């Protein structure tokens, strides 16, 4: 839409919103964590659902790893600096954030690789079943990995469900495993994990959950909800850095009879015996594959240190409150321009990002980025804004929405520099 004139009410709306935001920020028990991050003046990272901001602790940790552990300790640091145990050490920092116990989470490889491990392992545990049940609009890598496995394993087929509302009802006795995201990457819809797991168990199927848009923002209890496998990335709300290694969890009920397919030597029970035959390590260590990525793991380990001080109920509440504040302000100020809400209104079913539909959304997001307001875009028309509760305040939200309103009002998104294609959106 165009030709919408500015109204005095718009100025009043944002003045009121700024006053409310100031009060909320002053009372925010999580506000102290902002100082733990490197935040650029004039820039608001509302893309923490894709790449979180850098914690200050990472810089000192990397200086230590590079300036001492690697350069001076050399190979001795595998034992002396704890490198060998980092996949489990870092996993133990993540475990409380997903409802897992100590010794149940391991970190290494990418999200896609860990997903491959878990889907293949689930298939091996249900050899009489050959169907993988997918959600059609799940994050593409999840479905691509399942497709790759189906191409490799004779007899395995895929079944895709269009609506997640119909997902539980599609689980029958032919399904070996379901593969689903807890929080939808586009809309931020939170699935009813416990209900879907109950349906899977009743049908004898196993569950593989992607928690990439969950961990560090949304309540999740993999043990209490009856999950079988879970994986997730660490560069979003956990702020592990670009390409940070992913994590993997397997239910304690299954782990000792689960054998993952990538039987690399670091997942061996006694890797330095250098024996010919593979024997999996005990517990979750068997899901390690090759040599741990020490530089990335060390950065992630440092990024996760602050989570020991975070009150998770406070974090989850702020996620709900701030995304609701965001949606309400966009609706009141931008609906007249044709912006629509694509995220759930119910806070208990909404993740920590908000999604809005707009026909020229990509150009709008570029115009916002030019003002230091960083979000992202998903085709065909979704503008996404991630609200990382540890470093995003309510004042940041007001500034972002006011800029969005101004861009739509003036149609500045239609300038030449905001057109064209780009590799990453």
pLDDT at residue 6 is higher than 80: no
Give me the percent of the chain exceeding a pLDDT of 90.
95
Band of pLDDT at residue 424, cut at 50, 70 and 90: confident
User: Is residue 192 helix, strand or coil?
Assistant: coil
User: Is residue 174 helix, strand or coil?
Assistant: coil
Band of pLDDT at residue 3, cut at 50, 70 and 90: very low
State the pLDDT at residue 425. Answer: 83
Fold of 8-36+311-418: 3.90.1150
In tens, the pLDDT along 299-342 reads: 999 999 999 999 999 999 999 999 999 999 999 999 999 999 99
pLDDT at residue 7 is higher than 90: no
The whole-model pTM stands at 0.95
Helix, strand, coil % over all residues of the chain, rounded to 5: 45, 15, 40
**How far, in Å, are 74, 75, 293, 295 from residue 66 at the CA level?**
10, 13, 14, 8
Q: Which residue blocks in 28-160 are alpha helix, DSSP H?
A: 57-64, 77-80, 86-98, 111-125, 140-152
Q: Which uninterrupted H or E stretch holds 9?
A: helix 8-27
In tens, the pLDDT along 370-411 reads: 999 999 999 999 999 999 999 999 999 999 999 999 999 999
Q: Domain ranges for the chain, please list them.
A: 8-36+311-418, 58-309
Separation CA 169–CA 155 (nearest Å):
23
**Encoded tokens for 301:** 């380990």
Q: What is the CA radius of gyration of the chain?
A: 23
Enumerate the active-site residues.
139, 210, 235-236, 384
Phi and psi angles of residue 263, each rounded to the nearest 5 degrees, phi first = -80, 65
Domain 58-309 belongs in CATH node 3.40.50.300: no
Phi and psi angles of residue 197, each rounded to the nearest 5 degrees, phi first = -65, -40
Band of pLDDT at residue 1, cut at 50, 70 and 90: very low
Q: What angle do CA 307, 179, 323 make, to 5 degrees?
A: 45
Band of pLDDT at residue 39, cut at 50, 70 and 90: very high
Mean pLDDT of the chain: 96
Domains 8-36+311-418 and 58-309 in one fold: no
């Amino acid at each position: 839409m165009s030709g919408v004139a500015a109204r005095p009410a718009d100025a009043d709306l944002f003045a009121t919103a700024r006053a409310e935001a100031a009060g909320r920020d002053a009372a925010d028990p999580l506000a102290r964590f902002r100082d733990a991050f490197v935040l650029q003046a004039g820039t608001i990272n509302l893309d923490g659902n894709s790449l979180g901001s850098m914690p200050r602790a990472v810089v000192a940790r990397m200086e230590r790893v590079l300036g001492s552990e690697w350069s001076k300790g050399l190979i001795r640091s595998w034992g002396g600096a704890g490198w060998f145990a980092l996949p489990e050490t870092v996993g133990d920092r993540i475990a409380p954030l997903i409802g897992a116990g100590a010794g149940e989470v391991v970190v290494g490889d990418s999200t896609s690789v860990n997903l491959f491990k878990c889907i293949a392992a689930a298939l091996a545990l249900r050899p009489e079943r050959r169907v993988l049940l997918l959600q059609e609009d799940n994050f593409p890598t999840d479905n691509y990995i399942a497709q790759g496995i189906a191409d490799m394993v004779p007899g395995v087929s895929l079944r895709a469900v269009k609506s997640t509302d119909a997902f539980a009802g599609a689980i029958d006795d032919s399904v070996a495993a379901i593969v689903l995201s807890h929080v939808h990457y586009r809309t931020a819809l939170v699935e009813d994990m416990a209900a879907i797991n109950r349906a899977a168990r009743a049908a004898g199927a196993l569950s593989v959950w992607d928690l990439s848009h969950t961990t560090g923002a949304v309540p999740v209890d993999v043990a209490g909800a009856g999950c079988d496998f879970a994986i997730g990335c660490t560069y979003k709300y956990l702020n592990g850095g670009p390409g940070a290694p992913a994590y993997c969890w397997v239910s304690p009920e299954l782990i000792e009879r689960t054998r993952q397919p990538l039987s690399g030597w670091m997942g061996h029970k006694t890797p330095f015996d250098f024996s010919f035959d593979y024997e999996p390590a005990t517990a979750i260590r068997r899901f390690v594959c090759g040599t741990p990525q020490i530089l990335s793991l060390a950065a992630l380990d440092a990024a996760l240190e602050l989570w020991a001080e975070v009150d998770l109920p406070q974090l989850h509440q702020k996620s709900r409150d701030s995304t609701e504040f965001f949606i309400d302000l966009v609706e009141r100020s931008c609906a007249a321009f044709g912006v629509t809400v694509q995220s759930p209104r119910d806070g208990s079913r909404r993740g920590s990002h908000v999604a809005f539909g707009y026909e020229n959304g990509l150009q709008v997001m570029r115009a916002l980025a030019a003002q230091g307001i960083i979000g992202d875009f998903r085709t065909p028309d979704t503008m996404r804004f991630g609200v990382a509760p540890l470093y995003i305040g309510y004042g940041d939200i007001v500034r972002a929405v006011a800029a969005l309103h101004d861009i739509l009002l003036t149609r500045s998104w239609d300038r030449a520099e905001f057109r064209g294609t780009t590799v990453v959106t």
